Amino acid sequence: MFKNLRGENQKRDKVIKIVITILLLLLPFLDMLRTTNIRNFEILGISIIEIWNILLIGVAFLLTLFKCKWKELLFVFGYLIVLGIYIVFHFKHIITFDTSLFPRADFNFVTETFYIGRVYILPPALLFVLIKNKDIFNKEFYFKIIKIVIAIISFSIIILNVLKLSFISYSDTHDFNIRNIFDYFLFQGDFRQLSSRGWFDSANELSAIMFMLFPINLYLLFKEGKKSNVALFVGQFIAMILLGTRTSAVGSVLIVLAVGFLYFIFVLTRTEILKVNFTKIFVFCSLICIAFFSVSPFMIARLNEGKTDFSIKNQEAYDELEDDKNDPEKMSELFEKYRDEYMINELFLKIYPYEVDPDFWLQMASRDKSLNNDSRRMKSDILARVKERSNNSADTYLGLGYTLNMIDGERDYTYQYYLFGIVGIIVLMGPYFVILIYLIAKCLFNFKKCFKLNVACSLMGIVLGLLIAYYSGHVFGWVSPMMWLVVMLSLGVYIVLENCSKKEKEIKSEKENNKKTLDKFLKSI
């Protein structure tokens, strides 16, 4: 009987591992498919790509439930009940929204439910599967998956850039780049022509993923010191430069410096083994990467930024607008005339028309143009204004709803707050922060055991994911970045618990071996 039970569990574990492996390895390719017409194929209003993710995670989740004890099941269903109660009150509130305040608002039960499901139920379900099955998802599994995914993303971007078949990063359309990496040292035009996102759907989304995974790439580089690791490091760095976003460009340099600094601290404290030959290679590669950074699309954009005129408004134009603020037709004409004067993007005027709130647009015209030029700031200002005019205290706690049809705020915590309120933020996003706090506390209480580079890099990946959500967004509310945030959290849990379980004798033996290696290296200098 026990033998049969053991055999059933092994089969179940094998299926779970295969399903999750397929899910993670296919995520980059599914992102590419989103740029094609396949994203328009729907069943009951749900994209066929999302249905695929739902099926895979659903199978793994259900199989994992069979392994749970009753206390674990109680926890899972307890969370689902809390989530369900919030959703009921959230729906009850948002259906009362006054659409005259924001004409784009159009409550749709199916769309609202699906959004919450795919971004705030699927990722936690995956997190539960990975953590519960930590006996089959070890750190070697995570490292292999991460290396493969980094290679797929990085080298596809580089190859397509060289062939001039890559989509431009800063474009909602699928325009191919007319310049490639070889033009970096000669081209002085629009930086957008130099940016590349391969065939992926969103450069910002891709930046977030690469940002989170980069510390693990660097850890493997330092720890293994293989030629394949060097190639993967250089490939990812160049790909992040090619993306041209602030996050990927600046972040790549800062992460290299941070991990390099940490590594040598760990070497000096004899907690890590020094790879002598590799150190020289790493320095050489870093110099090459810095050279590319200096001529990257990001740097060109920053240089051009300083040439932009952000002088205060044209008083005559403002007076004209103010005189005709009660005449929507006239004001529309004037805004079309002076739109460039105030650096107001036409997109925002379509989203939140002049006639809906003329006082708001007068306020935008009266302030420093640099504020209007900041798209993230403008999006937040519109969201705040809609909430202000709604004048409903429940908006603060339950949100305005995804089907408000506001464009992405690009600062996830702010945007998700407007969508789901304070209660929604706690219920939907809370688990990620709870796990991070748990891991940090675990490390502090087991400092000697957790003072390792693998712990530092895994925690860095998690923290970076949460930070980029605040700084440039495209993490919370976006399926692929949230999936990889979940992977980093699961890897962090595995590595921290593994280190905490080590005995003092093992730690002492490691330090003695590392001391011998370091002494040998110092003598050879």
Interval 500-516 mean pLDDT: 71
Highest-confidence segment of 12-26, 36-50, 305-319, 497-511: 12-26
Report CA-CA distances (Å) from 16 to 56, 57, 126.
Answer: 9, 9, 11
**pLDDT higher than 60, residue 1:** no
Interval 170-194 mean pLDDT: 66
Q: What percent of the chain has pLDDT over 70?
A: 78
The C-alpha atoms of residue 454 and residue 458 are separated, in whole angstroms, by 6
| 436 — pLDDT class (breaks 50, 70, 90) | very high
CB count in 10 Å sphere of residue 88: 10
Assess contact for 433 and 133: CB atoms under 8 A: no
What angle separates helix 453-471 from helix 203-224, to the nearest 10 degrees?
A: 170
Report CA-CA distances (Å) from 487 to 5, 94, 437.
Answer: 29, 33, 16
Name the average pLDDT for the chain: 82
Interval 507-517 mean pLDDT: 68
The secondary structure of 9-71 as a DSSP string is HHHHHHHHHHHHHHHHHHHHHHHHHTTSGGGG-EETTEEHHHHHHHHHHHHHHHHHHTT--HH
Assess contact for 64 and 129: CB atoms under 8 A: yes
Residue spans per domain, the chain: 315-398
Highest-confidence segment of 45-54, 173-182, 289-298, 318-327: 45-54
| 43 — pLDDT class (breaks 50, 70, 90) | low
pLDDT at 2: 39
Of residues 443 and 507, more confidently modeled: 443
Lookup: tokens for 472: 């440039």
Please give the model's pTM, rounded to 2 decimal places: 0.89
Interval 134-153 mean pLDDT: 95
Highest-confidence segment of 175-189, 282-296, 490-504: 490-504
pLDDT in tens, 86-131: 999 999 999 988 888 888 888 888 888 888 988 889 999 999 999 9
Interval 446-454 mean pLDDT: 90
**pLDDT higher than 90, residue 42:** no
**pLDDT higher than 80, residue 485:** yes
Interval 516-521 mean pLDDT: 64
Lookup: tokens for 398: 């339950």
pLDDT in tens, 207-219: 999 999 999 999 9
Lookup: tokens for 357: 């709130």
> Which single residue is written with the structure tokens 């996830």?
412
pLDDT in tens, 351-403: 888 888 888 888 887 777 777 777 888 888 888 899 999 889 999 999 998 87
Using CA atoms of 196, 201, 203, 209 in order, give the dihedral in degrees to the nearest 10. Answer: -120
Assess contact for 384 and 75: CB atoms under 8 A: no
pLDDT in tens, 66-86: 888 888 899 999 999 999 999
Instruction: For residue 176, give the 3-state DSSP assignment.
Output: strand
**pLDDT higher than 60, residue 521:** no
**pLDDT higher than 60, residue 305:** no
**pLDDT higher than 80, residue 411:** yes
| 312 — pLDDT class (breaks 50, 70, 90) | very low
